Structure 1
Amino acid sequence: MTAGARPPRDPPHRARQARGAAARKLGRRAEVLAALWLMAKGYRVLGFRLPTPLGEIDLLAQRGRVLAVVEVKQRTTIEDALDAVTPTQRDRLRRAAAHLAAHRSGLRDLLVRLDLIALAPGRAPRHLVDAWSGA
């Protein structure tokens, strides 16, 4: 390399790929933390990242007759995590939850509920039961 020449840079898509991989890793870690939190509260975790034709469900957990479809959000503050789920995402979750409950025989008779677990560094997870019942 000649004096004053710049070192070659990675193409922009590599930086995007690296950020995406780091975000996915953080998301998986957050989901595991949320699952552990739910288990400590007496839930049985039935699945992680469950694909449905209507969208992915982060966590599926059961306690008694309740089937909790859990969205997990990690942000820099708990408040930001609580605000991170848009009305469009809530509708997608409702549809995905209904689809999953209708198509799995063992889940059909359970009460389906949408919960949110919000996570932030240095804070205990916050579990909002029936997070969007009024929305």
Structure 2
Amino acid sequence: MRDRRAAELSGRDGERRAAWWLWLKGWKILDRRVRTAAGEVDLIVRRGNLVAFVEVKTRATQADLDFAIDERRLSRVARAAELLMPRYARPGDDIRVDVILIAPRALPRHIENAWIG
């Protein structure tokens, strides 16, 4: 139980760091931790006519980040994004699924357009 709680707190901290990082890069944070029947999207952000549905992964080391995301997780985010598009995207907007990887003592790693499905 304690490990689960620690992981949850670490994940929330990573999501805050990722949102801050994106904001500094000119993105507007539209929403956080949005749940759908298909799964959860950690962050929904906009910059100009681009809306990104962002999966955030936080790990204890940079090396652990190499195994933090896989096709199954990305497909879940993509399915959730499809359900959420009408709520967040406007006609003519571009849509993509991004990943941000967070580890201590390292800048966030932003993988743009991570899902090509």
Q: Same fold (TM over 0.5)?
A: yes
- Structure 2 partner of 1:84: 68
- Structure 2 residue 89 is matched with structure 1 residue 107: yes
Deviations 1:59-114 (A, max 9, x none): 11000111111110111333432431121111111111011003x1x524221111
CA distance in 2, matches of 1:78, 1:130: 21
Larger Rg: 1
Query: Paired residue for 1:128, among 97, 111, 115?
Result: 111
Q: Structure with the greater relative contact order (CA < 8 A, sep ≥ 6): 1 or 2?
A: 2
1:19 Cα offset (Å): 1.2
Describe the SS at the equivalent of 1:29: helix
Gaps of 5+ in 1: 1-16
Q: 1:84 corresponds to which letter in structure 2?
A: A
Give me the TM-score of the superposition, normalised by structure 2: 0.90
**Alignment RMSD:** 1.5
Q: How many residues are paired up? A: 116
Give me the TM-score of the superposition, normalised by structure 1: 0.79
Q: Percent identity?
A: 40
- Structure 2 partner of 1:13: none
CA spacing shift, 1:89–1:128, aligned 2, 3 Å: same
Query: Paired residue for 1:61, among 45, 67, 90?
Result: 45
